[in-house]
Amino acid sequence: MRYVIYMIKTKKTKLLLTTSADNDVIIAEVSQSHKADERKEYFISQATLECNLNSGNFIDISDKVDWDGKIYILSDDSN
């Protein structure tokens, strides 16, 4: 009998929809232990992020900011 073992990589981050210090709407990768401010921050799914990237609503600015992880900004706020 032959067994196949699958390793499942667990994601160590979550996606947080929030605002930056400059009041820009952003999506940031944060640690799994991050607690959102329920009044103004929301966790979103990877599918929601991908939909917003594909539609052009958000753009990746990870290489332009000092952040430990991916960060995306609302296209209207990027100017």
What would the pLDDT profile of 6-22 be if each residue is shown by its tens digit? 555 556 899 999 999 99
Question: What residue ranges do the domains of the chain occupy?
Answer: 13-77
Which SS3 state, helix, strand or coil, does residue 28 take? strand
pLDDT above 80 (res 30): yes
60, HSE (Cβ side, Cα atoms, 13 Å): 9
pTM score over 0.85: no
- What is the pLDDT, as a whole number, of residue 77? 83
CA distance 57 to 51: 9
* Contact criterion met (CB below 8 Å) for 54 and 8: no
Residues 6+ apart with CB under 8 A from 60: 53, 70, 71, 72
End-to-end CA distance of the chain: 60
Which whole number is the average pLDDT over 13-41? 93
Which whole number is the average pLDDT over 27-35? 93
- What is the pLDDT, as a whole number, of residue 58? 96
CA distance 62 to 68: 9
**How would residue 36 be classed by pLDDT, with cut points 50, 70 and 90?**
very high
